Structure 1
Amino acid sequence: MDKSKKPWRNKNWNGQVSKVCNEIYGTLSMLRQTQDFLPKDIKQHLIKSLVIPKFMYCSEIFMGCSRANWHTINVCFNSCIRYIHSLKKFDSVSKHVNELLGCSLENYMNYRVCLFIFNLMKKKTPHYLYEKLFFPRFRRSRMLSLPPTKSSKQHINSFFVRGPRLWNSLPSDLRIIDSLAIFKRECLSHFASQKAQK
């Protein structure tokens, strides 16, 4: 079959990223109508309630995004920061970027991936996802083995390849924590200390 007739061969997340960002820009456009009348804490609450869930919905798919996609996502996120702080379009947001989520948006999504894997390992449910994790013979360190390697880019960028790699990159004392509350606190602190990729 002609490769040109197999669109999945060149599948990327451009369309999904554009769709999410366009929805967020639409929401921001409405919020800006009252921007000058609201205090900072209310604007922050509105962003967390109305906009951040749009970023977070199925956010695991963003793991396989290109850096160009991530640039688009971060530009959109920076617009949210500017709304909260009443900054102009080209004002720097660098000193505010960690205030909303405790770390950069990309690191926050990485935190959510690790939290998802933590809960999956602890609860072993849903089973159809838990069975996709590969454990080494000795589980004491709670490292994960990577699934059998396939050559396709989609497989390499899939959640159950990139997710375990991200999990294994956590400090060993963080991976062996049993308490959900402590893991959430320490894991977020870990990603807050990490620099976002360029």
Structure 2
Amino acid sequence: MTSQVANVCRSAYYHLSRIAKIRDSISTTVCKSLIHGLVTSRLDYGNAILYGISDRHMHRLEMVQRSAARIVRQIRRGDRQSMTTILRQLHRLPVRKRIDFKLLVLVHRAIYNGTPEYLAALLRRHTPPRSLRSAGGLLLEVPRVNMERFGRRAFACAGPTLWNKLPRNIRDNSNITQFKKQLKTLLFST
């Protein structure tokens, strides 16, 4: 994923530098729209495949997101402000949590709507061999993985692993809109 992350970062920094040059002459709303259209959309595009990448690559993507937040808020690099607070004010999840959010939404859609059928075929419900309290909790089976290829990053393994960590009340919610709201609340609080 080194070349993928490098290309995303290079493209994002190019657009950020162009936006930074005109930042004083545009409003915050226009700046947010520009950054979303040119930078954030590149970070989000296909980010489900970035699950489980190295911390070094994740840090590079987070630095892009932090630079974008600084430009929107017109904060200099040396200013001592918490980037977590700034991202929360902008209603933006950190990159790692955005990836988890996207994966969990894909799993939800595959379970309840069955929309991406090719993904739904990769998910199997966990059925314990004997009667347990967790049997009705809509848990998914995490398959054994081959570490030579994608390993734990594969959707068939990553999706159920994240899904099973969710609280039961969120997993049981079949309404996608409410599920997203509950999931964002949960991810912002952790």
* TM-score band, normalised by shorter chain: 0.7 to 0.9
CA contact (8 A) 1:47 1:80 kept: yes
Q: Percent identity of the aligned residues?
A: 22
- Aligned positions of 1:156-171 closer than 5 A: 156-171=152-167
- Aligned positions of 1:4-153 closer than 5 A: 13-91=1-79, 92=81, 93-137=83-127, 140-152=136-148
Q: Does 1:190 align with 2:178?
A: no
AA aligned to 1:58 is: G
AA aligned to 2:46 is: C
The DSSP-based 3-state class of the residue aligned with 1:185 is: helix
Q: Cα deviations across residues 45-72 of structure 1 (Å, max 9, x unaligned)?
A: 2222222110111101110210111111
Relative to total residues, which structure has the larger helix share, 1 or 2? Answer: 2
Structure 2 alignment gaps of length 5 or more:
129-134
In the aligned structure 2, how far is the partner of 1:151 from the partner of 1:50? 35
> How far 1:87 moved relative to its partner?
1.4
Q: Cα deviations across residues 111-143 of structure 1 (Å, max 9, x unaligned)?
A: 121111101111213322211112112763121
Taking a change above 3 Å as real, the CA distance of residues 109 and 174 of structure 1, as seen in their structure-2 partners, is same
CA contact (8 A) 1:147 1:161 kept: yes
AA aligned to 1:57 is: Y
**Divergent runs of 4+, >3 A:** none
> How far 1:144 moved relative to its partner?
0.8
> How far 1:151 moved relative to its partner?
3.5
Taking a change above 3 Å as real, the CA distance of residues 161 and 90 of structure 1, as seen in their structure-2 partners, is farther
Normalization by structure 2: what TM-score?
Answer: 0.88
Structure 1 alignment gaps of length 5 or more:
1-12
CA contact (8 A) 1:64 1:158 kept: no
In the aligned structure 2, how far is the partner of 1:61 from the partner of 1:14? 13
The RMSD of aligned alpha carbons is 1.8
Normalization by structure 1: what TM-score?
Answer: 0.84
CA contact (8 A) 2:109 2:116 kept: no
